[in-house]
Structure 1
Amino acid sequence: MIDKPRDYCGIFGIQNHPDAALLTYYGLHALQHRGQESAGIVTSYFDEDKERWIMPAHRDFGLVLNVFDDQNIFKRELQGRAAIGHNRYSTTGAAKNPANIQPFRVHYHEGNIAIGHNGNLANAKQLRDRFRQEGVLFQSTSDTELILHLISHSPKKTQIEQVLDALDQIEGAYSLMMLTDDKLIAVRDPNGFRPLALGKVDGSYCVSSETCAFDIIDAEYIRDIEPGEVLVIDQNGGSDSEPESYHLDPEYGTDTSQCIFEFVYFSRPDSKIFGENVDKVRRNLGKYLAKEHPINEVIRNAPDDKKPIVISVPDSSNTAALGYVHENQKFGHECKFEIGLIRNHYVGRTFISPGQKSREQKVRTKFNTVKGVIEGRSVIIVDDSIVRGTTSRYLVNMIRQADPAEIHFLVSSPPIISPCYYGMDFPSPEELMANRFDRDIEEMAKEIGVDSLRYLSPDGLVNAVKEANISDHGYCTACFTENYPVPVNFGVEKEENEIV
C-alpha cells in the first residue's frame, strides 16, 4: 500500500510527422511517472492498395521501455504520420483487464476513431446504466469507453459534430486525445482539472499532458489547451493550416478548478503546467511553509555547535525543501539543506525481498539514510503530503536510528481529508491519517514518531500557487477541503468507473 496518491495517466499525440509513432514513444517515456501499469500507441494512415484508412495499435502491460522494446514495431506496425499514446494507471479491480489498456480504437459508420483519456467522469454510472438499458455491450470497465459510445450513437451528421455532442453529455475531469482517420483532437474539460499543452516540432503540432514530453523531442511549447477547448488538427496540421478551436459550455458555473495537487506532487518539476513551471511553484510552497512555520519556532533542542538541517523526502519534495531553507535564511534563521535520505531509483513496483513481508522492509529498499549528516543534528523533514502515514512512520524510524537530536516533520500541503473523484486515486476517507486521528496534529505526530508535525494551511497553499502562477484560473482543493467543484455520484463502483 503506497503512502502517496496514485498517479492517473499521461497522454501524448502528434499530427503530420513522418516519425509520429517514435516521437509518441519518447513522449510517453517522459510521462512515465503518470502511469506505470500499461502503455499503448495508435497510429493512422491511408493504405493506397486497400483504398481505406488503417489504424494500427500496439498496447500491453508494463513500462514504456518494456512495451516497445522491439524497435521494429515502429517500422512494421505503427505506420502513419499521426499518432496518440497513453500511459495508464487504473484502480485495483480493473488493472489486470487487457481490454482496459488505452488508447481504445473502434471502427464505426463514420470511420476509425481512437481515444486516450486522463481523468475521471463524474456521471459515468448514469451513462453506463442508460447504455445498458439500450442493450449496448461493453468491452471494458473503463469510463473512457462511454465516450466512444456517445460518439457512435450521436445523431449529428459530421464526425466533429458527433464528438462535440458526446462531450456535451459528459461531466467531471478529463483531458482527451482522439485520433480519427485524418484528424487529431485534443480536449480539456470546462473546469480544466487536468493539464494539457500544445507544442510544435519540425513544423508539426503535438499535444501532451506535460511539457517535459516536449523537451525530450525538442518541441517548442506553444500554449496550454484552454479549459473547455476542443482543438482539431487536421492531417495538414502545422504546415498548411491552423488548428480549429471549439469551446464547450461550462456545466457548473464559469469558474475553472485546476487540480492543485499537480503542483504539489504529480507533475515533474521540469514541466510547465497551467501556464507555470512546476519547480517555481514548489519553491513557493516551501516559501509559504517557512512563513507559517519558521524554523526558529519549530526547533526545540538544537545543539549549540550545529546548525539545524532540512532534508527532503526525495524526489517530489526536493524543491519545496529548498524553498523552505531559502526563505528561512533570508530572514536570518540559521539552517541548511542537506541530503539526508537517498532514494534507490531501481526498485520496481513489484519488488519483493525474499523472506520479508513487512511494509517497513519495502520502505528500506527504496530509501536509506546518510547517518553522518543526521547524527547529533536537529532535523527538519520536508515532504509534499501524507496520506496514510505508514511510509512517514517508517522513514522517521530509520532517521531515529541515525541518532539525531530531534526530528520535526513539515508538509508542503494541508492534511488530506477527502478522496478525489476527478482522476486521482486516494484511499477511502477512513484510511487517511488526518481522519483517523480526527485532524489532531499532536496525535498524528505521535503516530509517525516525530517531535512535532506541521502542515501548510489551505489558504497558504492556494496563495503560494497563485503568487507563483501567472494563470488567473481557479484551483480544485477538494482533497484538502471537501469542496467539490463538480457534483459526483458517490455510489459509483471503482471497477465501473475506472480512474485513468
Structure 2
Amino acid sequence: MSQSAFPGERPDRPEEECAVFGVYAKGEDVARMACFGLQALQHRGQESAGIAVGDGETITVAKDLGLVTQVFDESTLAALDGFVAVGHARYSTSGGAASWEAAQPHISAIDDVLIALAHNGTLVNTNAIRTSLISEGVQFRSHTDSEVAAKAIGYVTQQTHHLRNGIRHAMETLEGAYAMVLASPDSLYAFRDPNGIRPLCVGRLPDDRGWVVSSETCGLDIVGAEYVRDVEPGEIVCFNDEGMHSEQGVAPRRRAACIFEYVYFARPDSVLDGMSVYQARRNMGRVIARESPVEADLVLGVPDSGVPSAMGYAAESGIPYADGIVKNRYVGRTFIQPTQAMRQLGIRLKLNPLPSVIAGKRLVVIDDSIVRGNTSKKLVDMLREAGAAEVHLRIVSPEVLWPCFYGIDTDSRDQLIAANMTNAEMCEFIGADSLAFITLEGLRDSIRANHEGFCEACFTGEYPVDIPESISKNSFLTKADFAEASGLQ
C-alpha cells in the first residue's frame, strides 16, 4: 500500500501510481528532456524518480527517492548521455513502501544487453509469474510488479533472441493495468494493456527530430512535441533509426479507460482520448448543478481539480464563483515531516480559507471525490470556522464504493465511507448542510472521449480484469461484513 503524506495517516484521496515518459531523439539531450517531462507529470507520483538512457551500446540509469528536482541536478543529467531515454515518477501501490530498490526504471539483463522498463499501473497476477521466474533462476531486488514485468520480458527475450517476442509474451501473460515504456540501448518501445486502462500517448518533436511518449499530453507540451495519437490497447509501438513502427502485441479487449483520470488524476491541460480534461471537469460541474441544485451565495472549488467543476457549476446555476480557498502549492510529499502538533492541523497545511470572501455566505463547495471522508469533514469545519453560514458539498464523482486494483490507491471497502454509510449519515459525519454526488450517467455524459468504454469499477464493482481471490479476499468486505464475521452482529 502507499504511504501517506504524513506518517501514521492514510491518504483521503485516491492516489495515482506513477508517470512514464520516453524519448527517442538522436542529437538531443534526451536525459534533460525526460527530466522536464517528468516534472510536467510530477502530480502522478512523488515518492521516487528515475531516468535510464541508452547510447547504442548500453543503458545507464539514475534514480532515487524524492521529487524529480530532488533527484536530478546538472551533474546527474550530464552523466546520462545517449539518444534514447525512459523516465519514471513513482507513487507506490504495489510493492510496498518507498525504497531505492522499488524506484524505476527497472533494469533487466538479456545476456550482455540491458533494458530499462518504466510502468504505470498495477498487475494482479505477479505472484505466479514471480514464482515461475524464480524457479528458472531469475533474481529480484524488490517486490514490485513492475520489476516482475521487466524480468519477464528479459527472460523470454533471452530465450527467443528477439526483444519484441519478449514484450509480446509478457503482454500475453501479464494481467491488470499497464502503460509501459522500455528502452534498449538503441530503441524505444511503448505498449499498453489490452483494456487501455492507464493512459499513454505519442508525440513528435519539431522538424522530425525524434519521438516522445508520455502518460499525458502535458508531458509532450513541455518539450515542444506535437501530439500524434494514443498508444492503442494491446499495441506495441517501436521507435528506432527506421522511424515509428506499430504491431499488435495482444488482441484488444473491452475498452476500459480509467474514468478517474478525468475526475482527478490528469492535469487539466492534458487531453485524454481526444477530450480536454479541463472541459470535462467544467462539464461535470454543469451536470451536477442540474442534478443537485441548491440556493446559495457563492460557488467555491477545492483546489486544484475542483476548480474547473466549480466554474461549470457557477455558469450553469448563475451563482457567482469565488476563489475562497487558497492552496499552498509547496506543501506536498516531502522528507521534512511536520510535528504531531502540526499534523493535527490537518488540511490547513495545504488549504486555507479566505474569511473576507466566505464569512456570512451560503457556500456550494465543489470537490472531486470522497474516499474516507476525513478530509471533507476537516474542510467543512475549516469553512465554518472562517464564518460560512452554510456549506453545501457537491462531489463530481459518484460514491466510491469499491477498491481499485489497477494502479489507484483506494482503501478496502471497510474504509470507504460511502460503502458503510447512507448519504444522510455521510452528510452528518462530514458536517455539511447538504451532500450530493454526480450520477454515473452524468459523469459519463460529461466526458466526450473518442470511445465509450471506461473502467468504473470503483463505483460499480464491475472489474474489467478478474481480481484473484488472494488479492480481493478482504478488500471487498465492509465494516458490517467484518462485524458479522466476528460475531458482533
Question: Does the pair score TM above 0.5?
Answer: yes
Give the Cα–Cα distance (whole angstroms) in 2 for the partners of residues 394 and 162 of structure 1.
Answer: 50
| Secondary structure, counterpart of 1:14 in structure 2 | strand
- Measured in 2, the distance between the counterparts of 1:354 and 1:174 equals 37
1:485 paired residue among 454, 464, 471: 464
Report how far residue 355 of structure 1 moved: 5.5
CA deviations on 1:214-253 (whole Å, 9 max, x unpaired) are: 111111111111111110111x2xxxx33111113347xx
Is the Cα–Cα contact under 8 Å of residues 310 and 381 in structure 1 kept in the other structure? yes
CA distance in 2, matches of 1:410, 1:462: 17
Instruction: Measure how far apart 1:449 and its partner are.
Output: 0.3
- 1:19 equivalent to 2:29? Answer yes
Q: How many angstroms does 1:35 deviate by?
A: 0.5
Provide the rounded CA distance (Å) in 2 between the counterparts of 1:339 and 1:152.
52
Q: 1:219 aligns with which of 211, 225, 236?
A: 225
Cα deviation for residue 441 of structure 1 reads 0.4
- On the 8 A contact 2:94/2:122 being kept in 1, the answer is no
Among 70, 73, 77, the residue aligned to 1:74: 77
What is the deviation of 1:281? 0.8
Partner of 1:323: 312
Partners of 1:116 and 1:274 in 2: how far apart? 21
Aligned 8 A contact 2:133 2:152 in 1: no
**2:197 equivalent to 1:193:** yes
Letter in 2 for 1:368: N
Q: Name the aligned partner's letter for residue 33 of structure 2.
A: L
> C-alpha root-mean-square deviation of aligned residues, in Å?
1.8
Q: Given the alignment of the two structures, is residue 462 of structure 1 paired with residue 444 of structure 2, yes or no? A: yes
The equivalent of 1:305 in structure 2 is none
1:355/1:169 CA distance change after superposition, 3 Å = closer
* Kept in 2: contact 1:156–1:165 (CA 8 A): no
1:191-214 residue CA offsets vs partner (Å, 9 max, x unmatched): 000111100114211100011111
Task: Please give the residue correspondences for 1:284-433 in structure 2 after superposition, counting only pairs within 5 Å.
Answer: 284-294=283-293, 298-299=294-295, 308-329=297-318, 335-350=319-334, 352-354=337-339, 356=341, 358-359=343-344, 361-433=345-417
Among 139, 146, 149, which residue is 1:147 paired with? 149
Question: How many residue pairs get matched?
Answer: 458
Q: Distance in 2 between matches of 1:397 and 1:159?
A: 56
Q: Find the residue that maps to 1:140 and give its secondary structure.
A: coil
Matched, 1:61 2:46: no
User: Counterpart of 2:216?
Assistant: 210
SS at match of 2:283: helix
User: Would you say the 8 A contact 2:49–2:71 is kept in 1?
Assistant: yes
In structure 2, the residue matched to 1:255 is 254
Is the alpha carbon distance of 1:191 and 1:182 closer, same or farther for their aligned partners in structure 2, counting shifts above 3 Å?
Answer: same
Displacement of 1:431 after TM fit? 0.8
TM-score normalised by length of structure 1: 0.88
Q: CA deviation digits over 1:415-469, x for unaligned, max 9? A: 10111111111112111111231xx10110000001110000112112221xx32
CA contact (8 A) 2:95 2:145 kept: no
Q: CA deviation at 1:96?
A: 3.5
| Residue 400 of structure 1, CA deviation | 0.6
Higher relative contact order (CA 8 A, sep 6+): 1
* Structure 1 position 99, deviation (Å): 1.1
For normalisation by structure 2, the TM-score amounts to: 0.90
Question: Structure 1 stretches of 5 or more lacking a match?
Answer: 47-52, 303-307, 330-334, 495-500
CA distance in 2, matches of 1:149, 1:216: 32
**Pairing partner for 2:169 from 140, 165, 186:** 165
Q: CA deviation at 1:133?
A: 3.9
Offset of residue 135 of structure 1: 4.4
Amino acid at match of 1:2: P
* Match for residue 41 of structure 1 among 26, 31, 51: 51
* Aligned counterparts, 1:269-288, within 5 A: 269-288=268-287
**1:75-109: CA deviations, max 9, x gaps?**
2x100011110001113863233111100112222
Percent identity over the alignment?
40
